[in-house]
Structure 1
Amino acid sequence: MTSLDRSTALLPDSDAFAALLRDIAAGAADRDRNDENPVEQVAALKRAGFGTLRLPAAFGGPGLSVTQLFSAIIDVARADPIVAHIFRTHFWFVEERLRTSSDPLSAEWLSTVAQGKTFGNAFSEKGSNAVGSLVFNTRLLPAEQGYRLDGEKFYSTGTLFSDYLTVTATTDHDSVATVVVPADRDGVQIIDDWDGFGQRRTGTGTTVFTGVAVSEDEVLSDTPYDAEPQPTVQYASLQLFIHAVVAGILESVVDDGVTLLRSRERSFSHAVTERPTDDPLLQRQLGEIASTAAIARAAVLDAAAAIEAATESYGEDRVPDAELAIAAQLKVAKVKVHLDAVAPEAATRLLELGGASAASRSRNLDRHWRNIRTITLHNPVGLKARAIGQNLLHGTALPANAYF
């Protein structure tokens, strides 16, 4: 694995970053097949400064735009979508701290990011509470010094590989708090028990908090349940990250499609041509898959540009222009609806380029479909499409939570 100086971020358009991604991609299929955690690969990206890409120069980073960041996320997902997905909550954390960077506490956390530290999530819970309701069984209660955190989370993507954990919890005064604690603090237990058929090694398992001490300056927010929602693009950004991973997988599907066809030495006796690479039907199918991947990248980056426009509209209250925020949310939602329809099909059609031999376990080409289908299940596409339609017909507001 390439050894890199953490103090200098590798720019996504550099030869060194491309070499790092080739290194990550080289073992992606084997790691998936052998069910191995990408510990070294995540560490290499952290050393390369991947987690600092959005930090402006004042905070020790290269200051990439939102659109440039999402392009880099697609590139990492092309190399290994497992590795890319692990950083999802980290970039949400960074963006929220950038939004409030004038606050001394946010500035301090941004300095921690500049040191190469990454932040995982412990938001979702199992149980009967509606997803997105922001009502949690995990509790943050006053203690002798600061607070005490107790509870159990699931779908803790990235936590296994992170230095800090962002945690949501119910307080004793009808509010939801978000706190950040070191991953190795006493009382924190990270269990690698995610058993999904795709995105298997993202650390998306159980995180348990038992009497975890939380100081005052580790409470990021404390929002009353009846607070009026403010315009935001942070939820849209969280969702677009998922779609960027799908776009990266589609580009990997194209790469494997080219390799697969070139590896075939024979075709069927009733095929159009003797050589598969000369078969116009297979050429067309590969071209259609490549077109799907190209449109996926373009759609993700178009939505990222809308998020960027809303981000640049922040006023003194650090809240984006409401119309720009809604426009970004709608674009991100439409990307989801489209990709959910075309991405799994593209991954399926990849297998048809190789016939029965494409099902070889050693090739592990089915990982693309498994990864796409798993990551698209993060929220129901039907509810998202309906929300778009309601907005078009009646101007109905979009759901104001991180799960839409």
Structure 2
Amino acid sequence: MVYNSAVPAALLTAITAAGENALNRELERSLPHEEIRSLVEAGIGRLRVPTEYGGLGLNWVEATEVLVELAAQDSNIVQALRGHLAIQEDAIFRPDDQAAAQHWLHRLAAGQLAGNAWTEPGTGGYQRSGTVVTSTENGLVVNGTKYYTTGSIFADWLDVTARDEQGNELAVLVAGDQAGVQISDDWSGFGQRTTGSGTTTLTDAAVADYESRLLTDRFPYQTALYQHVLLVVLTGIVEAAAGEIAAALSTRSRTYSHANTVQPSTDPQLLQAVGEVDAVAALARAQVLETARTLDTAFAARHADPAGQLQAAEAAELATGRAQVALHRPVLEAVSRTFDALGASGVDAGRGLDRHWRNARTVTSHNPWVYKARIAGDHRVNGTAPVRLWSVGVPEPELSAATS
């Protein structure tokens, strides 16, 4: 558990409490509304907000330690906070005398939460947003459909990517409690099932003028931050698996006549299996703390010139991409190793141990690692800069024809 004195005891208590019913939520596919609200009230949503604005003022290494502990209790919750963590970062990255930054610093201190709404289904989203912001006599409105809107169902605000009438790619923040916002919990993936990653429909949803800006004007390491949060989630998953396999083996009495000992908790082969999972958990934690340091460096570069900011952002992008490539196989192997220590008893559905593999497999499918490996190799061989902003969707026919 985190022992940083800047982290209030109430938050540590809320983190522990979030894990108490995590297995049942998984088995019942019950969203953690109450747990997330308790965590927000205890300070999880203002980890990086300066203390003068009512936040905890943590750097990324310190914040990551807190988030890993939470991910070990329930990895779905940390993923649900992914969009919020980006909005928090953007608010503290830009000068605090800007109107939008001031609004958000106060909202964060008051416990308001943001969710993500970037990805679009079908043909939307590839190179340009299908979601559109238009100007009306009553102000800006946004229309479109988003999928994988992680965390938005828990949030007060939605972080939406869209394009304006001139074709510029924008980031807009939309109040979630208005009639023009409809959010469904229809995420059908086999893992990370309680992240609230469903469909959001925007119908003439109002946008304040100061809540609309060019996507490229956001803090320059935003995609690295998004990937970092997924690495935190992955670290929490393998840490939880290590804890559960150890607890199960320590009390296990059933054994095989050809085992090494009559007591499973002293069987050297089973202890080796647990040790291998434990080692990967330690590896993942060390790796994610290292990527956190690159985020701290990128944040510190906010006072540098644009070239200095870009250099730090690219370093963070490469670091998080390399970590994704390096960790995905060891973590997936480790959470599978759980069943080697427990035999057929480990596959009992009531134990829910399969959730660790399903969750890890789901997280490692986001932002495919194969592309990150190619990008890292291209940078190593040719010095090619990493891709920092990308999109996903079905290419429009003319684009497919041009690149085929």
Q: Same fold (TM over 0.5)?
A: yes
Q: Structure 2: which amino acid aligns with 1:103? A: Q
Pair 1:277–1:388, CA change in 2 (3 A): same
Do 1:191 and 1:206's aligned partners in 2 also have CA atoms closer than 8 Å? Answer: yes
Give, in angstroms, the shift of residue 321 of structure 1: 3.4
- Equivalent residue for 1:104, pick from 99, 103, 106: 99
DSSP-derived class of the 1:251 partner:
helix
| 1:140-185 Cα distance to aligned partner (Å, 9 max, x none) | 0110121121110000000000011111111111201211121111
- Equivalent residue for 2:192, pick from 194, 199, 217: 199
Map of 1:304-323 to 2, 5 A cutoff? 304-315=292-303, 320-323=308-311
Pair 1:170–1:31, CA change in 2 (3 A): same
Do 2:116 and 2:149's aligned partners in 1 also have CA atoms closer than 8 Å? Answer: yes
Please, what TM-score do these two structures have when normalized by structure 1? 0.92
In structure 1, the residue matched to 2:48 is 54
Give, in angstroms, the shift of residue 241 of structure 1: 0.4
DSSP-derived class of the 2:302 partner:
coil
In structure 2, the residue matched to 1:126 is 121
Give, in angstroms, the shift of residue 15 of structure 1: 4.5
| 1:195-243 Cα distance to aligned partner (Å, 9 max, x none) | 1111111110000011112231221x135xxx8x998222111111001
In structure 2, the residue matched to 1:177 is 170
Pair 1:247–1:402, CA change in 2 (3 A): farther
Pair 1:403–1:173, CA change in 2 (3 A): closer
1:295 aligns with 2:289: no
Map of 1:320-339 to 2, 5 A cutoff? 320-339=308-327
Give, in angstroms, the shift of residue 58 of structure 1: 2.0
How far apart, in 2, do the equivalents of 1:317 and 1:324 lie?
A: 11
Pair 1:173–1:317, CA change in 2 (3 A): farther
1:376 aligns with 2:364: yes
Gaps of 5+ in 2: 393-404
Alignment RMSD: 2.0
Do 1:192 and 1:206's aligned partners in 2 also have CA atoms closer than 8 Å? Answer: yes
In structure 2, the residue matched to 1:346 is 334
Pair 1:248–1:317, CA change in 2 (3 A): same
Give, in angstroms, the shift of residue 24 of structure 1: 1.3
Pair 1:73–1:231, CA change in 2 (3 A): closer
Do 1:232 and 1:320's aligned partners in 2 also have CA atoms closer than 8 Å? Answer: no
Do 1:12 and 1:72's aligned partners in 2 also have CA atoms closer than 8 Å? Answer: no
Q: Structure 1: which amino acid aligns with 2:166? A: H
Pair 1:41–1:319, CA change in 2 (3 A): farther
Pair 1:402–1:116, CA change in 2 (3 A): farther
Please, what TM-score do these two structures have when normalized by structure 2? 0.92
How far apart, in 2, do the equivalents of 1:288 and 1:380 lie?
A: 25
1:364 aligns with 2:366: no
Paired residue total: 388
Give, in angstroms, the shift of residue 49 of structure 1: 1.1
| 1:90-110 Cα distance to aligned partner (Å, 9 max, x none) | 010010111112312211111
In structure 2, the residue matched to 1:94 is 88
Do 2:335 and 2:356's aligned partners in 1 also have CA atoms closer than 8 Å? Answer: yes
- Equivalent residue for 1:240, pick from 228, 245, 261: 228
Do 1:145 and 1:215's aligned partners in 2 also have CA atoms closer than 8 Å? Answer: no
DSSP-derived class of the 1:174 partner:
coil
DSSP-derived class of the 2:138 partner:
coil
How far apart, in 1, do the equivalents of 2:132 and 2:14 lie?
A: 41
- Equivalent residue for 2:77, pick from 69, 83, 105: 83
How far apart, in 2, do the equivalents of 1:380 and 1:121 lie?
A: 19
How far apart, in 2, do the equivalents of 1:148 and 1:21 lie?
A: 37
1:394 aligns with 2:371: no
Do 1:12 and 1:18's aligned partners in 2 also have CA atoms closer than 8 Å? Answer: no
- Equivalent residue for 1:20, pick from 14, 17, 31: 14
In structure 2, the residue matched to 1:3 is none
Map of 1:268-287 to 2, 5 A cutoff? 268-287=256-275
Do 1:231 and 1:321's aligned partners in 2 also have CA atoms closer than 8 Å? Answer: no
DSSP-derived class of the 1:377 partner:
coil
Q: Structure 1: which amino acid aligns with 2:191? A: G
Pair 1:320–1:34, CA change in 2 (3 A): farther
Do 2:249 and 2:265's aligned partners in 1 also have CA atoms closer than 8 Å? Answer: yes
Give, in angstroms, the shift of residue 311 of structure 1: 1.1
Do 1:163 and 1:182's aligned partners in 2 also have CA atoms closer than 8 Å? Answer: yes
- Equivalent residue for 1:143, pick from 136, 141, 164: 136
Do 1:235 and 1:403's aligned partners in 2 also have CA atoms closer than 8 Å? Answer: no
- Equivalent residue for 1:30, pick from 24, 29, 34: 24
Q: Structure 2: which amino acid aligns with 1:146? A: G
Larger helix proportion, structure 1 or 2? 2
